[in-house]
Structure 1
Amino acid sequence: MPITEFLTRNATYFKNDVALVEINPEIKNIPHVTWREYSLIEAARGGAFRKQLTWGEFEKQANRFANLLLTRGIKKGDKVAILLMNCLDWLPIYFGILKAGAVAVPLNFRYTAEEIKYCLEKSDSDILVFGPEFIGRVEEIRDRIPRLKDCFYVGDECPSFADSYDKLLNYCSSQAPSVYITDEDDGAIYFSSGTTGFPKAILHAHAALVHSAKVEQAHHHQKKDDVFLCIPPLYHTGAKMHWFGSLISGGKAVLLRGVSPEWIIRTVSEERCTIVWLLVPWAQDILDAIESGRVNIDGYELSQWRLMHIGAQPVPPTLIKRWKAVFPHHAYDTNYGLSESIGPGCVHLGMENINKVGAIGIPGYGWQVKIVDENRKEVTDGVGELAVKGPGVMKCYYKDAKSTDEVLDDEGWLYTGDMAERDEDGFIYLVDRKKDVIITGGENIYPVQIEDFLRSNGSIKDVAVIGLPDQRLGEIAAAIIEVKEGFSLSEEEVNNFCLDLPRYKRPRRVIFAKVPRNPTGKIEKPVLRKIYCGESVVAQQNEINIK
């Protein structure tokens, strides 16, 4: 069945139960009252600190948007892009697209205007739904995308080049549209990237979306009374597919706009959250705040919090040891996945296997895993490339048969590009990545994009960008820069030059040195990693010893 049927079921059986809550602590001068008490104060003022949506309201809003899309000529298989920060409208919009038979195309909110344009064109998107944070970027490209029929704006003071989502929705029926959807129909396109740094459009069927929901519930045993705290952005497969556990169980989810330890702990307490998915930096920040005394957890109700799990980047075993010292009753899990495998869960540690922290785990629910050599022959010992197979594997890279054939074989095996090995108990450990992607704070950074940008500086002869280990972010981007003879360049000048890059892509460390290349002209990044990653690990160890 298509993923939309879970929403319809919840709206039928749990009509008046809360499905989604949005918490926005960025509002200043919050008094010392509960979230709910403050939301009443804000409501009286016309504010929106805490908002919520029942399953019945969720279904009606999704139906209205589906009907709006149909009035604009959207047909089954057409593409509709979403460019929004996390908000109460995000998921009803996503499901409205699916109910119309269209394909949802979530976009990274960090994309520049040109990256947004590229993704809209690559995905053949006909409509874009966007929020106030993106007015300037969308206005910059709106007239340069002939295929884009309409732009719907979610928020107040709608710009002249878009239509108001909120106003138009009021005129649309809340009845489900008569669009027949099957498991094999296209459901969503998510963007990833290969070693070239150019985003690939990953196409998934409804069946893959449904399987991700089943995987989440099978791994973390969500029940109706579980409350999931969602902090990461919903455009990311990880956040949304973990939320699918709430969808399949009919439970409440809380969208928290902010990552402050105080906000996370307070939200868990007041919303009675039972499951929280964190990135490594956020978990470290919470522990630092508690251990320093900045946050006193004795004043909060946290006994219902049963599971903390982490994904999107390697997890230091020392972090989990610290976490269990503070929260000894918590179950813990880690999840491995990629957008091509509909996000997290094709490999997972398992809540019962905390003694194996450091491993990414064992095959997830409904998944098969193997490790292969350079000829894609399965190996039982040693390091090889990790391959996965299951109902959550992508249909293809949209409009890119060559790239699809490189990673997806005729038997349905997806070759991840990650190097791994098994221990004697069958647990899988990541060793390295074939790709040079840097994962910092759960976000992918593609070195070639930064390298190409830096090479436009007239003082730079050559540059290589690698990831260095970082205790908080997992990895940081480091730029090894070779300066042209007769020129000078300082770290400050490089940092100022990089201000034109999005913040998350700016190198965190600048190293002036020769860039080694092999006889064929390729940068020898393994050599650089051996030199500089070793230094970084030693520095981290010294820091731990000092503490």
Structure 2
Amino acid sequence: MTYAVTYQRMDGTEMPGRVSLSYAFTGSEKPLIGKTIGDMFDEIAEKYPDNDALVSLHQGVRYTYRELQKEVNKAAKGLLSLGLKRGDRVAIWATNIAEWVITQFATAKAGIILVNVNPAYRTHELEYVLRQSETQALLLIDRFKTSDYVKMLYEVCPEVKSSKPGQISSENLPFLKTVILIRGERQPGMYTWDEMLRMGEEMPDDVLCGVQCSLDFDDTINIQYTSGTTGFPKGVMLTHHNILNNGYFIGECMSFTEKDRLCIPVPFYHCFGMVLSNMACVTHGATMVLPAEYFDPVSTLSAVEKERCTALHGVPTMFIAELEHPDFKKFDLSSLRTGIMAGSPCPIEYMKKVSTLMNMRDVVITYGQTEASPGLTMSSTADPLERRVSTVGKPMPHAEIKIVDPKTGKMVPRGQPGEICARGYMIMKGYYNNPEATSLAIDKDGWLHTGDLGILDDEGYCKITGRLKDMVIRGGENIYPREVEEFLYEHPSISDVQVIGVPDLKYGEELMAWIKLKNGCNVTPEEIKEFCRGKIAHYKIPRYIKFVDEFPMTVTGKIQKYKMREISIKELNLEEVARIKTA
């Protein structure tokens, strides 16, 4: 698209002449898949019945596609036996275990909407998500490390303890009726996972078949929570069509086949695990390899070696932890070929190390967000290494990308920064029970406004240059300061608080809270952190705390967070970290 215009840059200067505008679309000879996830899963199971589908090393579990299909069908019928039906919401609060994957495909077959709950969530966040999503059933594990999930659920919904399984009645959580404990000793008010499967075995197959045949690929099948600048998390509604096609084309960009084996250390509750990993594998008949419940560098490297994995996913902090582990050179990674580094800005030097030292010569970057299922742009195995490490690639197949001036909404010339907008099959249906937030995110022409700043070059490659939003990305976790601020306001000694992100060598960014105390109050940084522990996820607890009398402000009274960040970088001696280049 080339026009003769006089264009005004974001800095106010004019640039006359003919310009090529920042719009890109990637076509494809391969059409979009017009099927539900359940139908596609059954096709793959029929085509590759004896292929390894799922290997959970930490559980000692191994399923072929035929075996996994049998477990998925039992779980789907079990959920239907509990009285759940198409369009109902079932939440899962668990780590990376085989049952998570089984539940993912079982809910899709039954037309039940899966609500992902972050295992790092604590009581405050769990209660909000269960209430906002109007969840009818919850699957959870008993505990992991220091997290006692059963105890936290009883705190949020004490009625569970005194209820018969499937008959919960709570004023606080009026929709919640059923809780299923995936593992551990039987608990009051809960079914066990095995009980649910036995119930499924008693249901005739044709009941599930009838339900599955009634589904539409435009049905919402998943709700994932992403934080918002206005405060609490928003539930992103994703359809079969969104997730299935995004996963398929992610696999295509990595040249996946039924012979590939993907090591998955990234969490399932996140799009990276659920879509970029699980769906990429299943749509190609490839193998999902789970090294551990939670990321551990040694378990990951060991899994690659033991299972001869051809691909490995991870956020930058995971790859850094693997590369810098003292035993790194002891592992045989020669089977690796490709994989994705995503979730937060990718340091260029580490991308090069992953490509060479880990033998991932075809490593790629994906950029996106939960609202886009999540992939929007992706580098390809055919791209030169320099392009793969310095950009986030081109629009994914069937996706449109444009860069606009955030003030005017008009497209900017190629090479000029602006807000990244996207349109296509991958864009969410909207935010659950939040039409106002949906209309702010997706404009009348169907463009998703990402809030990220980027540049589109003459060849259609995109580079991220910053964020319009205040979002902080810590080790792949998206954190919105407003949510943390709202929580900290509950502290009796805090008068005002502003939360920002500061650069960090290990996690990319860390949280910092600038706090104004109420008159006469005295509190230490450690006391602030202790107030947070057990109530919000550990990664949302500010690492740095600064007590102030005032915040930098404009003449109109708007707080200048960029100035807070500049001051903090200098005071914390983070100038060198702030200069690290990312793609």
* Alpha-carbon distance in 2 for matches of 1:541, 1:94: 39
Residue 562 (structure 2) aligns with: 526
Residue 335 (structure 1) aligns with: 366
* Alpha-carbon distance in 2 for matches of 1:512, 1:114: 25
* Alpha-carbon distance in 2 for matches of 1:491, 1:76: 48
Match of 1:311 among 342, 367, 374: 342
Residue 270 (structure 2) aligns with: 236
Please say if 1:407 is aligned against 2:441. yes
Residue 43 (structure 1) aligns with: none
Match of 2:413 among 380, 386, 405: 380
Displacement of 1:534 in angstroms is 5.5
The aligned runs of 1:80-119 (5 Å cut-off) are 80-119=90-129
Deviations 1:173-200 (A, max 9, x none): 3734311212122221111121023111
* Alpha-carbon distance in 2 for matches of 1:429, 1:528: 25
Match of 1:365 among 367, 386, 397: 397
One-letter code of the match for 2:377?
V
Size of the aligned set, in residue pairs, is 514
The aligned runs of 1:67-146 (5 Å cut-off) are 67-133=77-143, 134-142=149-157, 143=170, 144-146=172-174
One-letter code of the match for 1:433?
R
Please say if 1:286 is aligned against 2:315. no
Identity %: 29
Kindly indicate whether structure 1 or structure 2 has the higher relative contact order, using CA contacts under 8 Å at least 6 residues apart.
2
For the 8 Å contact 1:53–1:88, the answer to whether it is kept is no
* Alpha-carbon distance in 2 for matches of 1:241, 1:304: 23
Residue 70 (structure 2) aligns with: 60
For the 8 Å contact 1:469–1:537, the answer to whether it is kept is no
Residue 376 (structure 2) aligns with: 346
Displacement of 1:379 in angstroms is 1.3
One-letter code of the match for 1:318?
E
Distance verdict in 2 for CA 1:168–1:74, change over 3 Å: closer
Structure 2 counterpart SS, 1:254? strand
Distance verdict in 2 for CA 1:327–1:64, change over 3 Å: closer
* Alpha-carbon distance in 1 for matches of 2:316, 2:361: 16
Distance verdict in 2 for CA 1:462–1:124, change over 3 Å: closer
Structure 2 counterpart SS, 1:368? strand
One-letter code of the match for 1:54?
T
Residue 148 (structure 1) aligns with: 176
Match of 1:198 among 232, 241, 244: 232
Displacement of 1:443 in angstroms is 0.7
One-letter code of the match for 1:186?
T
* Alpha-carbon distance in 2 for matches of 1:124, 1:457: 28
Distance verdict in 2 for CA 1:367–1:533, change over 3 Å: farther
Residue 29 (structure 1) aligns with: none
* Alpha-carbon distance in 2 for matches of 1:114, 1:498: 10
Displacement of 1:124 in angstroms is 2.2
* Alpha-carbon distance in 2 for matches of 1:473, 1:250: 33
Structure 1 counterpart SS, 2:312? strand
Structure 2 counterpart SS, 1:370? strand
For the 8 Å contact 2:333–2:358, the answer to whether it is kept is no
One-letter code of the match for 2:412?
V
Structure 2 counterpart SS, 1:452? helix
Structure 2 counterpart SS, 1:223? coil
Structure 1 counterpart SS, 2:484? helix
Match of 2:189 among 157, 161, 170: 161
Structure 1 counterpart SS, 2:313? strand
For the 8 Å contact 1:469–1:536, the answer to whether it is kept is no
For the 8 Å contact 2:479–2:540, the answer to whether it is kept is yes
Match of 1:259 among 267, 289, 295: 295
For the 8 Å contact 2:336–2:358, the answer to whether it is kept is no
Distance verdict in 2 for CA 1:542–1:402, change over 3 Å: closer
* Alpha-carbon distance in 2 for matches of 1:542, 1:238: 26
Please say if 1:214 is aligned against 2:244. no
Distance verdict in 2 for CA 1:454–1:403, change over 3 Å: closer
* Alpha-carbon distance in 2 for matches of 1:205, 1:358: 32
Displacement of 1:385 in angstroms is 1.0
* Alpha-carbon distance in 1 for matches of 2:63, 2:210: 24
For the 8 Å contact 1:261–1:285, the answer to whether it is kept is yes
Distance verdict in 2 for CA 1:535–1:225, change over 3 Å: farther
Please say if 1:171 is aligned against 2:199. yes
One-letter code of the match for 2:291?
L
Please say if 1:540 is aligned against 2:579. no
Range 158-167 or range 374-383, more displaced: 374-383
Match of 1:509 among 533, 538, 544: 544
Deviations 1:419-440 (A, max 9, x none): 1122344322222212111110
Displacement of 1:162 in angstroms is 0.9
* Alpha-carbon distance in 2 for matches of 1:170, 1:542: 55
Residue 38 (structure 1) aligns with: none
For the 8 Å contact 1:52–1:88, the answer to whether it is kept is no
Deviations 1:150-189 (A, max 9, x none): 1111113121111112123123237343112121222211
* Alpha-carbon distance in 2 for matches of 1:390, 1:141: 39
* Alpha-carbon distance in 2 for matches of 1:116, 1:481: 26
Displacement of 1:529 in angstroms is 2.1
For the 8 Å contact 1:462–1:483, the answer to whether it is kept is yes
The aligned runs of 1:446-485 (5 Å cut-off) are 446-484=480-518
Range 163-172 or range 382-391, more displaced: 163-172
The aligned runs of 1:432-447 (5 Å cut-off) are 432-447=466-481
* Alpha-carbon distance in 1 for matches of 2:117, 2:556: 36
Distance verdict in 2 for CA 1:461–1:138, change over 3 Å: closer
Residue 269 (structure 1) aligns with: 305
* Alpha-carbon distance in 1 for matches of 2:572, 2:500: 12
* Alpha-carbon distance in 1 for matches of 2:369, 2:472: 14
Residue 40 (structure 1) aligns with: none
Residue 45 (structure 1) aligns with: none
Displacement of 1:452 in angstroms is 3.0
* Alpha-carbon distance in 2 for matches of 1:371, 1:129: 41
* Alpha-carbon distance in 2 for matches of 1:472, 1:485: 37
Displacement of 1:472 in angstroms is 1.3
Distance verdict in 2 for CA 1:5–1:542, change over 3 Å: closer
Measured on the aligned residues, the alpha-carbon RMSD in Å equals 2.3
TM-score, with length taken from structure 1: 0.88
Distance verdict in 2 for CA 1:71–1:324, change over 3 Å: closer
The aligned runs of 1:320-331 (5 Å cut-off) are 320-327=351-358, 330-331=361-362
* Alpha-carbon distance in 2 for matches of 1:375, 1:539: 33
Deviations 1:341-394 (A, max 9, x none): 001x21113332421323222111211100112232211242211101111111
Structure 1 stretches lacking a partner, 5+ long: 25-47
Distance verdict in 2 for CA 1:454–1:404, change over 3 Å: closer
Distance verdict in 2 for CA 1:324–1:73, change over 3 Å: closer
Residue 495 (structure 1) aligns with: 529
For the 8 Å contact 2:253–2:379, the answer to whether it is kept is no
